[in-house]
Amino acid sequence: MSKMISIVTPCYNEEDNISELISQVRKVMSTLDYPYEHILIDNRSTDSTWEKIKSESQSDHHIKGIRNVRNFGPLRNAMYGLFQASGDAAISLAADLQDPPELIPTLIAEWEKGYKVVLGQKDMSEESKIMSGLRKAYYGIIAHFSDTKQYKQTTGWGLYDASVLKVMKQLNEPEPSLRHIVAELGYEASLVKYCQPKRQHGKSSYNFKSYIEYAFQTLISTSQAPLKLAVVWGFTISFFSFVMGIVYFVWKLMDWWRFDTGQAPMLIGLFFIGGVLLMFIGIIGEYIGEIFKRTRNFPLVIEQERVGFDEDEG
């Protein structure tokens, strides 16, 4: 019996891309000798994305759809979709057509060589130079501070063996990021280079604020460097404060009748130390927040409806 491939596409307001994406996947899979399913999980879109998914599932038994009761965020939505896959391997494929469906055969070929994880790695990108530069800076910062080796220029688009997904499910991550979990688990990934095209239709749900939040969250979840930095800074400031205190004390003894420190240096020092303390209290708070998320044990998403699945898959 042929191995089965699951293709999982998280969606949010992708009404202009859904039909074209499904068509391209169907065309690619028709050239391969693998049974497949295409799961599209809608993160409570406000446009006609869900209606199009339902319509496609009625005309093609390969198409399966899930709709969430609310928007749970792209990370949770994508991971939950992969957990619903019933194939021997699952391919995470974005709905915006920036992950080229024509590379699916290459991903499968690498998987057949024995790789449990095959990641698409952006060799080039047609996006703006500013965004490309910011992404490279982000990848560099995360790679530098992370406690484990990271895969640069990867978005999570790629193929994951069913055994890998089983391990990921046991982790119970509240905000799971595919690319960083793969690095943390230590799987050797095969990297398939590609040129990322521009988004043709619609607008990305990510904005600059979202990227900043995601970058900071990733840094907190993949590294203890901020906490270590807090310790180093605290020691450094304490050391220099002690040295300056000795200097001022000696200066006062030597020239006490004319010595006048003034309030400015004291105020500057107080505000500086106060700002540093607040910053690191915030960092500690972020780590406490991550611990709190894990203790709640919330589900990744809650479904409202699903279509195209058999009864035993519900």
Residue 121 pLDDT greater than 60, yes or no? yes
For position 227, what pLDDT does the model report?
A: 64
Per the model's pLDDT, the better-predicted residue between 156 and 263 turns out to be 156
Per the model's pLDDT, the better-predicted residue between 152 and 293 turns out to be 152
Percent of the chain with pLDDT over 90: 45
pTM of the complete model: 0.75
Band of residue 147 on the pLDDT scale cut at 50, 70, 90 = low
The encoded tokens of residue 200 equal 């043709």
**pLDDT tens, position by position, 274-314:** 767 767 777 777 777 767 677 777 889 999 999 999 866 55
Domain extents for the chain? 5-218+300-313, 225-296
**pLDDT tens, position by position, 162-186:** 999 999 999 888 888 887 888 888 8
What is the spatial distance between Cα 165 and Cα 288, in angstroms, rounded to a whole number? 27
Strands (E), the chain: 5-11, 36-42, 63-68, 89-92, 117-125, 154-161, 189-196, 303-307
Q: What is the identity of the amino acid at 71? A: N
Residue 108's nearest CA partner among 86, 90, 122, 121 is: 90
Candidates 3.10.580.10, 3.40.50.720, 1.10.287.3510, 3.90.550.10; correct CATH number of 5-218+300-313?
Answer: 3.90.550.10
Residue 38's nearest CA partner among 233, 224, 230, 308 is: 308
What is the spatial distance between Cα 213 and Cα 217, in angstroms, rounded to a whole number? 6
Residue 126's nearest CA partner among 158, 90, 164, 97 is: 97
